[in-house]
Structure 1
Amino acid sequence: MTSQEQWERRTEWPMAVVAFAFLVAYSCEVLLDLSAGWAAVCSALMSGTWLLFVIDYVARLYLAERRVHWFFRHLHEFVVVVLPAIRPLRLLRLVAMVTVMQRAIGGAIRGKVLIYTISTSSLLLYVASLAMYEAERDHPDSTVNSFGEALWWSMTTVTTVGYGDYSPVTTTGRLIAAALMIGGISLIGVVTATIASWIVEQVAEEDKAKQAATAHQIEELRHEVRRLTDRLAQDRVPSD
């Protein structure tokens, strides 16, 4: 196991906890009417957790055996941890949070297809709804004026139903919509691949079990043939 793999294994769940703390702070900021003091606390917590995302990325890059190759293969992670430093793009921190939680939770329950599908879908829908509600709620022409409406919009968008009763009017909202559409397609692909992988594993395990049983039966038949052969050989030996 490489140093990078050891780092990722050791930091999977701690970083998942950090990501969860970020999600709680962001949810409070968006959904609750906080006082100035609590708003500052939530903002500081989100900034601190995002800094930990940056440290995690830098550590994995430093520990990579082929750093240039790893950097270009994970260029999207670089964009996610760098661009949120610009205030208008801070919603990209949500992508970092989802990536970190996926790394830990996905690895732990990937074999349990139903749980993996539900947890991934719920996380994507909740985060997209929060981001859309924050982006749209203060616009005078917005049709998304509550978190419930944002959640309904997310569900119709990610499932490609698209009733059209709610739609983003801000530039940020439309970018979130585009990201959710791409994320929805990716999610379907991941879920399909996970189910296919699980089915292949189950079939492979069943084939191995059948092969083991067949090999055991063949060995028993060989043993029986040897025993019968020895008995026939003994019967042919003339008695004194």
Structure 2
Amino acid sequence: MSDRPDPPDPIRLKEWEQRTEVPLFVAALIFLVGYAVRVLAPHDSEPWRDIALALVCATWLLFAVDYVVRLHLSGLGRRFVRTHWLDTVVLALPLLRPLRVVQIYTAVQKRRDRPRLSLYARVMAYAGLTTVLLGFSAALAVYHQERGAPGANIRTFGDAVWWACATLTTVGYGDAVPVTLGGRIVATGLMACGLALLGAVTGSFSSWLLQVFTREDEKRPPGSA
């Protein structure tokens, strides 16, 4: 038998991605809810913790099946892991699925003749939604790592939310700092995402202002002050 990868099927791959992006986004929200219940619910709150664990496992299995199907349809073999590195990272860390909001929006808009939002509005909407979901996910993850750790100062979920807000906005007051290895890994990723989102929002807003001022200048009669 040959070890060469199957020939690519771009049409079927495109159709698969368009059909599954929105259902998988819903599955990602279910995963987030299940993970939140596992982290925030008291240990004696059964059977809710068991149900949440079942939801987390079932939705992660859906993500794995989707990854395998797209790998097969792409025909890239091992190169799929490198060329689709974000999908690979998201499969390993499902809490990062909010970063795929752009693909979800694109899949929805391809079903319509024209986008309902302008470019600047799309950037702002994507950045806002991603910030909320990513911040909530990071707060859950760092609280899961930090609670009960020796010397930790993130003891409650409220502390974790405050830390996530300060980190995402690149303020970094320093009153809440992760002390565990897992918490610091989450913090590093969140800082990188916060810088990227802040740059996207700032650049888009500045570009929109320049466009508005340019239009106003063009409407003025020649020689006017």
Instruction: Identify the TM-score tier after normalising by the shorter chain.
Output: 0.7 to 0.9
Query: Superposed, which structure 2 residues align to 1:72-87 within 5 Å?
Result: 72-81=82-91, 83=92
- Answering whether residue 95 of structure 2 is matched by residue 94 of structure 1, we say yes
Change in CA separation of 1:73 and 1:29 when aligned onto 2, cut-off 3 Å: same
Distance in 2 (alpha carbons) for counterparts of 1:17 and 1:65:
27
Matched, 1:2 2:26: no
- Between 1:98-107 and 1:6-15, the stretch displaced more is 98-107
Matched, 1:24 2:63: no
Matched, 1:12 2:21: yes
Contact 1:110-1:194 within 8 A present in 2 as well: no
Please tell me whether Structure 1 or Structure 2 has the larger radius of gyration of its CA atoms: 1
Whether the 8 Å CA contact 1:19–1:100 is kept in 2: the answer is no
Identical residues among aligned pairs (%): 39
Deviations 1:150-182 (A, max 9, x none): 111111112221111110111111111111111
Deviation at 1:93, TM superposition (A): 2.4
Asked if 1:138 corresponds to 2:138, the answer is no
| Stretch moving more, 19-28 or 110-119 | 110-119
3-state SS, counterpart of residue 160 of structure 1: coil
CA gap 1:60/1:194 in 2 versus in 1, 3 angstroms: farther
Residue 102 of structure 1: how far off its partner (Å): 4.7
Deviation sequence 1:177-230 (CA, Å, 0-9, x none): 111111112223444565588789x89xx9xxxxxxxxxxxxxxxxxxxxxxxx
Q: Which amino acid aligns with 2:66?
A: D
Residue deviations 1:59-102 (CA, integer Å, cap 9, x gap): 11111154454331113432442x5xxxxxxxx2212x324445
Matches within 5 A, 1:57-72: 57-72=67-82
In 2, distance between residues paired with 1:106 and 1:188? 21
Q: What CA RMSD, in Å, does the superposition of the two structures yield over aligned residues? A: 2.8
Give, in angstroms, the shift of residue 139 of structure 1.
1.4
For residues 71 and 110 of structure 1, the distance between their equivalents in structure 2, rounded to whole angstroms, comes to 33
Q: 1:76 to 1:31 in 2, by over 3 A?
A: same
- Amino acid of the structure 2 residue aligned with 1:31: L
Cα 1:60–1:195 shift into 2, 3 Å: farther
The aligned residue for residue 127 of structure 1 is 137
* SS of structure 1 residue aligned to 2:22: helix
Map of 1:159-198 to 2, 5 A cutoff?
Answer: 159-191=169-201
Query: Which is helix-richer, 1 or 2?
Result: 1
| C-alpha distance in 2 between matches for 1:104 and 1:110 | 16
Q: Following the alignment from structure 2 to structure 1, what is the Cα–Cα distance between the partners of residues 204 and 66? A: 26
If the length of structure 1 is used for normalisation, what is the TM-score?
0.69
Going from structure 1 to structure 2, the CA distance change for 1:62 and 1:195 (only over 3 Å counts) comes to farther
Q: Which amino acid aligns with 2:164?
A: S
AA at the equivalent of 1:75: W
Instruction: Flag structure 1 segments of 5+ consecutive residues without an equivalent.
Output: 84-91, 207-240
SS at match of 2:47: helix
**8 Å contact kept, 1:110–1:116:** no
The alpha-carbon distance between structure 1 residues 76 and 16, as it changes in their structure 2 partners (threshold 3 A), is closer
1:50 maps to which residue? 60
The number of residue pairs the alignment matches comes to 193
Assess if the C-alpha contact under 8 Å between 1:133 and 1:145 holds in 2: yes
Highest RCO, 1 vs 2 (Cα 8 Å, sep ≥ 6) = 2
Structure 2: runs of 5 or more not aligned: 1-9, 109-116, 216-225
Distance in 2 (alpha carbons) for counterparts of 1:67 and 1:110: 37
Q: Which residue of 1 aligns with 2:104?
A: 104
What is the one-letter code of the residue matched to 1:38? W
Q: Distance in 1 between matches of 2:196 and 2:154?
A: 25
Any conservation in 2 of the 1:26–1:42 contact (CA below 8 Å)?
yes
